[in-house]
Amino acid sequence: MLKRKLIILGLIAIFAAPLHAEVNIDGFLQGLYGARLEEDNPTATEMPASETRLQLRAEHFGNSAEFFGRLDFVYDAADTAQYEWELREGYLKFRLGQYFDFKIGRQVLTWGTGDLVFINDVFAKDYRSFFVGRDDQYLKAPQNALRMAFYPGFGNLNFVWTPRFEPNRLPTGRKLSYYNPFVGRIVGEGYYFDPATPEAKFENGEFALRYQQQIGMMNAALYFYKGFYKNPTGAVTTPDGPMAIYPHLDVYGASVRGSILGGILWLEGGYFDSRDDKDGDNPMMPNSSMMGLFGYERQVATNLTANIQWQADAIMDYDKYEAGQTGMGAYVRDEVRHLLTSRITKLLNQELVTLSGFVFYSPTDEDMYVRASVEYKYTDQLILALGGNFFEGNNQATDFGQFDLNDNVYLKATYGF
């Protein structure tokens, strides 16, 4: 009885809140429709995207704290559960004393210097969204976390604790097919299951740390992460056969970024310490690796911006890794994997039209992924977009090669309010 009264009181409070002039509510309604270009794609549905999305945002500023919520309601005709909702963000923010800022709750986290390429940003990504034409903001999956930032006056220290491990969201075979190493080929929905996440224990939480400082024109940062690989890159043997798991991972890294030669330059590096396979001799677990990234961006002409990135990823104990790849049709990657990317953005017609292209190309994996879009701001409220995702690969097992059959084009209309 008391519980019911509390619920009613709570509901009254929630709906009365907008009556206070200080609660701002806005958001958008969006329709996204995609079509696949490959007939023989084994996905469960022929629609990479077919959804209507309502995003509501609410914020309230108190005297010493503030609240922000971002709630998505989705009708998805291409999914099994047609109605879906997700709290994308729901956090409170406040300052303690002069030096500490807190952000607690469901939030999107980003750091590091790369453009759609991540080393020290070991926060959850959503590739189910990224490959089908959803807005860029959906590449980041939210995490339930506590973030503390310390600003002592000379640099700043950020600490993020995610009590429950939050994995990346990877294609399931329903809308996008993928390479299944246990089956040895590109598969549709039938083979997908959510890998078991680490048990909800304190030591299985994720800890991320960043120290950042401005040095002249350069912004330098040091990073540390303790948690798990965000993709299920490891496996354990069970009576039912091999089972994918998220292996333990520590990352140590650093970056610098700043203005130079009329553009922005960034360098980032990180060491991925695979704690479940320190010596690299367990073929069921990933080997440790060293990653490096170089990037440069500049405005090459009026309203035309371009960037290039080069990422190298060197696997440790390569001999042992190579010796372990004995399975039928196992893909043996190169010791050093190179990835080149480039983004080109052109604004036209008073910035109402945006032409955008992004290319990922790996000469060592011999695969490629191209994102292209045209966006037109018809009015301040209505934005129309047309885009495509194109994959190419010589081998089904590589990062982009596995999505080879998922080429798609999409149409998107957004009404903001």
Partner 1 sequence: MKQKVFHLAIGMTVLALVILLAGVAAAQDANEIMKKSHMAYYYAGDDGVVEVNMRLIKGDKERNREFTMLRVDLEEGGNQKYYTYFKKPSDVSRMTFMVFKQSDGNDSRWIYVPAVDLVKPISADDKNSSFVGSDFTYEDVSGRHWNEDTHTLVNGKGDLGGKPVFIIESVPKDNGYKGFAKRVSYIDKSNYLPLKEEYYNDKGELIRIFTADKIEDIEGIQTVTVRSIENVKKGTRTVVEFSNIDYNVGLGEDIFTERYLKTPPRQYIK
Q: Which residues bind partner 1 (CB under 8 A)?
A: 22, 26-28, 61, 66, 70, 93, 95, 101, 107-110, 136-137, 139-140, 149, 151, 156, 212, 217, 219, 257-259, 262-264, 297-299, 302-303, 305, 347, 350-352, 377, 379-381, 383, 414, 416-417
Instruction: Kindly tell me which of 220 and 347 has the beta carbon lying closer to partner 1.
Output: 347
Beta carbon of residue 24, minimum distance to partner 1 (angstroms, whole number): 9
The residue among 44 and 374 lying less far from partner 1, judged by its C-beta, is 374
Those residues whose C-beta lies under 8 Å from the C-beta of residue 380, and which sit 6 or more positions away, are 416
Within a 10 A sphere around the Cβ of 350, how many other Cβ atoms? 8
Q: How far is the CB of 274 from partner 1 (least distance, A)?
A: 27
Pick between residue 140 and residue 333 the one whose CB is nearest to partner 1: 140
Of the candidates 130, 106, 110, the one whose C-alpha atom is nearest the C-alpha of residue 118 is 110
Element (H, E) at 323: helix 318-324
Taking the C-alpha atoms of residue 145 and residue 143, their distance in angstroms, rounded to an integer, is 6
Specify the length of the chain in residues: 417
**Closest approach of Cβ 292 to partner 1, in Å?**
20
Residue found by looking up tokens 């991540």 in the block: 118
- Rounded to whole angstroms, how far apart are CA atoms 197 and 166? 8
Nearest to 268 by CA among 111, 382, 152: 111
Which residue, 94 or 271, is less far from partner 1 as judged by CB?
Answer: 94
CB-nearer residue toward partner 1: 238 or 302 = 302
> Cα separations (Å) of 316 from 112, 277, 331, 388?
23, 11, 17, 36
- The answer to whether 222 and 211 have CB atoms below 8 angstroms apart is yes
At 341, list the tokens: 């990317």
Amino acid at 58: A
Residue closer to partner 1, measured from CB, 67 or 192: 67
Minimum CB–partner distance for residue 156 and partner 1 (Å): 7
Smallest gap from residue 161 Cβ to partner 1 (A): 16
Least distance (Å) between residue 74 CB and partner 1:
16
Smallest separation, CB 214 to partner 1 (Å): 9
Q: Which is nearer to partner 1, 28 or 224 (CB)?
A: 28
Taking the least distance from each CB to partner 1, the nearer of 219 and 364 is 219
Q: Which of 270, 302, 292, 239 is nearest to 122 (CA)?
A: 270
Nearest distance in Å: CB 386, partner 1? 17
Which run of H or of E encompasses 190? none
Are the CB atoms for 48 and 175 separated by under 8 Å?
yes
226 is written with which tokens? Answer: 């303790």
